[in-house]
Amino acid sequence: MTVAVLGAGAFGTALAIALARNGAEVGIWARDPAHAAAMQATGRNDRRLPGVELPETVTVSADLASFVAARTLLLALPMQQLDSFVRSHAATLAGRSLVACCKGIDLATGRGPTAIIASACPSATAAILTGPSFAADIARGLPTALTLACALERAGAALQSELSTPVLRLYRTEDTAGAELGGALKNVIAIAAGVVIGAGLGDSARAALMTRGFAEMSRMAIALGARAETLAGLSGFGDLVLTCTSAQSRNFRYGHALGAGEGFDASVTVEGAATAEAASALASRSGIDVPVTDMVAALVRGRVSVPQAVEALLSRPLKKE
């Protein structure tokens, strides 16, 4: 096996399919043995990515030990699960190439994915794969471009060539902070964009929100050590555009439900909700002004209503762009 995907969600399954179509031997680890058995039996992941056939070269198992010999391990779990997962399996994952495929900031520690891996499993090579891509699009074989970020240039180059396919194009950077903050913060702005549309405030307001949101993402990421050009790339601006403008996005749909005063299925992964709170706390500790993020965190927590959030943002002092 060349690549193992740890986590049997929509994104991990889609990546496994794309890599297997390109000739890699891929294993998917599902933590739930019943889920692994169902995927093996049906040749599909009906729970998380229904309607897509797994190539025959994809194997699925709930036995983590059978996957650790793979050259590269993709960690395709929700962000708030990553720290405990890597800590509990640190001995098994030691010395491996670990590519985080999640977007967000850990609520408990304020860390991003590569810092979590480095702290919990220091002997591993930590990288992150992020950027504009819906799992369903990848699984259908539609063209997609992503960012592979790894602080070690040679390791990053090896991962870029290993994980690229003719339709899944990976661009590379050493700026892990920029790639992961772009991917984390765009989900927060996407929730806000969903609120704007759900509350009937219109496309012009969404464009304003996305623009000011991008300024906020860049301000925060640069203050925390990221490069401006990374934020302007696939993992920042690119993913912001995709997520704020498509109803395929769960973050956008969640925001839309908040804006429209409707309920939302709590079992759906909405990374921007916890990340809004984590980012708001991190920004406050670092003295960075993030009004949209603060408002999304307050909305998610139910501390303000949608009309109060809109009023608060519109009544901020006028200033230079």
Ligand X SMILES: NC(=O)C1=CN([C@@H]2O[C@H](COP(=O)(O)OP(=O)(O)OC[C@H]3O[C@@H](n4cnc5c(N)ncnc54)[C@H](O)[C@@H]3O)[C@@H](O)[C@H]2O)C=CC1
Ligand Y SMILES: O=C(CO)COP(=O)(O)O
Buried b (16+ CB within 10 A) or exposed e, 263-274: eeeeeebbbbbb
- Is 319 one of the annotated active-site residues of the chain? no
- Considering only 244-252, 287-295, 298-306, 310-318, which stretch makes contact with ligand Y by CB under 6 A? 244-252
Please tell me whether 97 is known to bind a ligand. Answer: no
Binding-residue pattern over the window 241 to 270 for ligand X, x denoting contact by CB under 6 A: ----------------------------x-
Binding positions for ligand Y, 87-106, rule CB under 6 A: 103
Q: Is 119 helix (H, G, I), strand (E, B) or coil?
A: helix
Residue whose CB is less far from ligand X, 102 or 306: 102
- What lies within 8 Å, CB to CB, of 54 at 6+ separation is 13, 16, 17, 20, 39, 43, 44, 45, 60
Q: How many residues does the chain have?
A: 321
The secondary structure of 119-168 as a DSSP string is: HH-TTSEEEEEESS--HHHHHTT--EEEEEEESSHHHHHHHHHHH--SSE
Please tell me whether 251 is known to bind a ligand. Answer: yes
Binding positions for ligand X, 268-307, rule CB under 6 A: 269, 271
Given ligand X, ligand Y, none, residue 249, with its beta carbon under 5 to 8 Å by kind, binds ligand Y
> 23: burial class by Cβ within 10 Å (0-12, 13-18, 19+)?
exposed
Residue whose CB is less far from ligand X, 266 or 314: 266
The one-character DSSP state at 101 is -
Q: Of the listed 111, 186, 206, 253, which one is catalytic?
A: 186
Please tell me whether 174 is known to bind a ligand. Answer: no
Given ligand Y, ligand X, none, residue 8, with its beta carbon under 5 to 8 Å by kind, binds ligand X
Please tell me whether 204 is known to bind a ligand. Answer: no
**23 HSE (CA, 13 A, CB side):** 4
Please tell me whether 239 is known to bind a ligand. Answer: yes
Given ligand Y, ligand X, none, residue 132, with its beta carbon under 5 to 8 Å by kind, binds ligand Y
Binding site for ligand Y (CB under 6 A): 103, 132-134, 187, 190, 239, 242-243, 249-251, 271
